[in-house]
Amino acid sequence: MSTPTLEGHSSALDAAENTAAHLVAITLRVRRFNPEVSADSEWVDYQIQVDPKERVLDALHKVKWEIDGSLTFRRSCAHGVCGSDAMRINGRNRLACKTLIKDVNPDQPITIEPIKGLTVLKDLVVDMDPFFQAYRDVMPFLITKGNEPTRERLQSAEDRERFDDTTKCILCAACTSSCPVFWNDGQYFGPAAIVNAHRFIFDSRDEGGEQRLEILNDKDGVWRCRTTFNCTDACPRGIEVTKAIQEVKRALITRRF
């Protein structure tokens, strides 16, 4: 006695199984670097068949799992939350896991490079230490005085709204590595660190705003921003990064005058 099943396939099932009909041929042009082979990085083309509704990360997976296992890149959650897979796709900083193949013109080779301004360690993996050092330097944690309340630190909805935009940051480095000032001078804090300082400076519960403003008032702080808006364009979370930097500048000026 076997489980009763439908004899034959329905047309919908046939269509679903015949996935090859959806696939398009694309070329992934990846900037590869392996210090154990050569000091030069080089462009390597991979021809693959993918569904255009899939993401660039899926295409990279296909290359790594089926063609060349030595291709190296970072990804963790693969759903736009962890911020591991920021890379330069067709010359723009994006998350590979949030970029659909159909949105990056699959008729042309899709170029994939590591993000700029940080040391490339291998293929698409860069050294994020300077980025996180800048993040640490703005003290991205709640600073308070006095006794700890027995329950939550309450905050009105309006006070929460004040810094809502900058709480969305996932530290993917897409903004900082799109900043031309950061490319030339890595001592600059960079947009991401300023966004995370903004998140606490404008938090009504926090009392370390003065210290953070003092840090960002320095020569490598917000005054190096040239408002080129590259960071706002690059942010995969849609944070208005340049606006946040301008708000910190305004806070510094109104504090002084």
Partner 1 sequence: MATEVSPADELQLTGSSAAYSPDNPAPVIEPPRARTKRTPRATRTNFELYGWLFMRLSGVVLVVLVIGHLLIQLVLDGGVTKVGFAFVAGRWASPFWQYWDLAMLWLAMLHGGNGLRTVINDYAEQPNTRVWLKTILFTAVAFTIVLGSLVIFTFDPNIR
- Residue ranges binding partner 1 (CB under 8 A): 35-40, 117-121, 127, 129-131, 133-134, 137, 181, 183-189, 214-215, 217-221, 223-224, 249, 252-253, 256
> Rounded to the nearest whole angstrom, what is the least distance from the CB of residue 42 to partner 1 in the complex?
9
Our CB check for partner 1 shows the closer of 56 and 231 to be 231
> In terms of CB distance, is 87 or 97 closer to partner 1?
87
SS3 call for 229: coil
Please tell me the distance from the alpha carbon of residue 101 to that of residue 7, in angstroms, as a whole number.
Answer: 37
Tokens of 69: 């296992």
Nearer to partner 1, 47 or 184 (CB): 184
- Nearest distance from residue 108's CB to partner 1, in Å? 28
d(CA 121, CA 114) in angstroms, rounded, equals 10
Residue with tokens 């090859």: 20
Partnered with residue 43 across adjacent β-strands are: 31
Q: Which is nearer to partner 1, 33 or 101 (CB)?
A: 33
In whole angstroms, the minimum distance from the beta carbon of 182 to partner 1 comes to 9
Of 197, 32, 25, 183, which is closest to residue 93 (Cα–Cα)? 183
Ramachandran sector of residue 113 (left: φ over 0; alpha: ψ -120 to 50; beta: rest): beta
Least spacing, CB of residue 186 vs partner 1, in Å: 4
